[in-house]
Amino acid sequence: MDFYVVFFLFLFAFAVNVQSYLIPREEPNSDGCARIYNEFITKKKTNFSYADVNDCYKSFPFDKDAIDTLSGLVGGFYVFLDKAKEPPQPGFDFRPVDLKAELENFRTKSYSTLYDFTTDVKHLFYDLKDSHTLFGSYCFTTFFFHTNMTFYSVVNNGEQKIKVFDDTIDQSNIDCEVTHIDGQQAFKVIYEFANNSVYASRDLGVRFNIALDRAYKFPSFAVRSEIPERSDITYTLKCDNKNAFDVKRNWNAFAQNSIILNEFNNSKSYFDNICNPTNGIIQIGPSSTAFQEIKAAPPDDFNKIVEQQDKSITTIKIIDSFVSFFKTQDFGIVKFFTESPTGPEEPINMLTDIIQGFKELENMGVKKV
Ligand SMILES: *[C@@H]1O[C@H](CO)[C@@H](O)[C@H](O)[C@H]1NC(C)=O
Ligand SMILES: *[C@@H]1O[C@H](CO)[C@@H](O)[C@H](O)[C@H]1NC(C)=O
Ligand SMILES: *[C@@H]1O[C@H](CO)[C@@H](O)[C@H](O)[C@H]1NC(C)=O
Ligand SMILES: *[C@@H]1O[C@H](CO)[C@@H](O)[C@H](O)[C@H]1NC(C)=O
């Protein structure tokens, strides 16, 4: 199977030799992947039931060799192994992680499915709260789950509340307060989700905003890439000053990219073509690209604006579509347009230019950047 581990923008995909593949059950109907195929072909559907995706994802057996490969990769390439063991600085909320030791612990657990193992390892990497270090398998990025409701949060009279941002099924729910989710206080449920299932920041407040953010897509509270714990979810809503009422929704699974639905017609072909493709990776996991959605201002415009607005700003050096250096009084300004430059030059070759930019700032008497 192919996993992806992203260390600071470098994507490693590695294959673990799978000796035997077990076809889970005999009857075609018990094969969730085959049911998905049938819905797609016969009913032209691109959204599927929780049960179909659950059965499809959980039809692949766990392969113990994966731990060896992972352990080697983490030990060999993750430069922050020791740093990750340190407790958080005050104000940040995460736990120290001994990646190698915790991976070893997974050996003692008896996993029956590849999905359960992959999800546990993914969460171990989530606990680093480092948005550049992710783990996942292409096997489990085909679908996302959604209940057609999204949320926002406001503070009213000193109390933080959750409200319905959008509901495409029943628009009369929009702006109603969500008091409870599955019987638990709504704020607490989302706060815990942010703490445990959002990885992109060490600051829990930032993770809470991401959990409610629709632009980030994954993982958010409303749009999940993992199989939710249950097939449905109940929101208790309070609209204006009327009585509270319950809205029960099923989690629906949507294909992220319907092209993938042509790649399989049962569990075996799903595994061979999506989890363990012999002819290379056919898709990039959504989590590895989710953070590139933030659009930078086009560099040319930015440079013009800076120059036009303020004559006291001197342009020192511009590395096309990547980094620019400016100076005003004894301040240096370094503007990164992107964290993944796509210019004609390899990022590594731009390093000399970047170092030169900083040197020029220093030579011009810059004290602060
Ligand atoms: C597809 O989504 C619609 C709502 O958008 C829902 O009514 C329907 O049941 C879903 N289909 C499946 C197979 O879950
Ligand atoms: C968030 O998660 C960490 C790590 O599991 C835990 O130590 C911390 O207490 C949690 N914070 C809150 C506010 O629940
Ligand atoms: C539910 O949301 C999905 C995904 O955004 C959309 O395709 C579908 O049409 C929505 N269903 C309804 C009934 O609004
Ligand atoms: C679907 O099944 C048939 C055999 O039943 C096989 O020949 C074909 O290659 C399969 N298609 C895909 C996309 O795997």
Interval 146-186: pLDDT, tens: 999 999 999 988 999 999 999 999 999 999 999 999 999 99
Task: Tell me which of 86, 89, 94 to substitute to probe ligand 2's pocket, judged by most ligand atoms within 8 Å of the beta carbon.
Answer: 94
Do residues 198 and 236 both lie within one domain? yes
For residues 27 and 46, what is the distance between their CA atoms, to the nearest angstrom? 23
- The answer to whether 178 touches 164, Cβ cutoff 8 Å, is yes
Could you please report the per-residue DSSP string of 32-65?
A: HHHHHHHHHHHH--SEEEHHHHHHHHTTSBP-TH
Do residues 138 and 30 both lie within one domain? yes
Do residues 269 and 234 both lie within one domain? no
Distances (CA, A) of 181 to 96, 164, 188, 231, 325: 30, 12, 9, 14, 49
Do residues 223 and 240 both lie within one domain? yes
Q: Flag whether the pTM goes above 0.85.
A: no
Do residues 33 and 70 both lie within one domain? yes
Task: Tell me which of 44, 45, 47, 172 to substitute to probe ligand 3's pocket, judged by most ligand atoms within 8 Å of the beta carbon.
Answer: 47
Residue closest to 331 by CA, chosen among 317, 313, 308: 313
Residue closest to 261 by CA, chosen among 59, 91, 56, 65: 56
SS3 at position 361: helix
Q: Is 254 in the pocket of ligand 3 (CB under 6 A)?
A: yes
Q: How far is the CA of 260 from the centre of ligand 1 (A)?
A: 19
> What is the dihedral sign for C-alpha 195, 201, 204, 207?
negative
Residue 282 lies in a domain: no
By CB neighbour count within 10 A (0-12 exposed, 13-18 middle, 19+ buried), where does 342 fall?
exposed
Do residues 157 and 114 both lie within one domain? no
| 124, 125, 128, 130 alpha-carbon torsion, rounded to 10° | -160
Do residues 100 and 154 both lie within one domain? no
Do residues 245 and 169 both lie within one domain? yes
For residues 161 and 276, what is the distance between their CA atoms, to the nearest angstrom? 44
Q: How far is the CA of 363 from the centre of ligand 2 (A)?
A: 46
Measuring from atom 13 of ligand 3, which residue has the nearest CA? 169
Pocket of ligand 4 from Cβ distances under 6 Å:
263-265, 269
Q: How do the pLDDT tens digits run along the chain, 369 residues long?
A: 455 555 433 223 333 333 334 444 445 578 999 999 999 999 988 899 999 999 999 999 988 888 888 888 888 788 889 999 999 999 899 999 999 999 999 988 889 999 999 999 999 999 999 888 888 888 999 999 999 999 999 998 899 999 999 999 999 999 999 999 999 999 999 999 999 999 988 999 999 999 998 665 567 999 999 999 999 999 999 999 899 999 999 999 999 888 899 999 999 999 999 988 765 544 433 333 333 333 333 444 555 555 555 677 888 998 877 889 999 888 898 988 777 776 666 667 788 888 999 999 999 999 888
Q: How far is the CA of 265 from the centre of ligand 4 (A)?
A: 6
Q: What CATH code is carried by the domain that includes residue 238? A: 2.30.42.10
For residues 72 and 251, what is the distance between their CA atoms, to the nearest angstrom? 37
Instruction: For residue 355, give its domain range.
Output: 299-363
Residue 63 lies in a domain: yes
Measuring from atom 5 of ligand 3, which residue has the nearest CA? 148
Q: How far is the CA of 130 from the centre of ligand 3 (A)?
A: 32
Q: Is 49 in the pocket of ligand 1 (CB under 6 A)?
A: yes
Tell me how far the alpha carbon of residue 268 is from its chain's centroid: 27
Q: How far is the CA of 337 from the centre of ligand 2 (A)?
A: 33
Question: Minimum-distance ligand to the CA of 51?
Answer: 1
SS3 at position 233: strand
Measuring from atom 14 of ligand 4, which residue has the nearest CA? 264
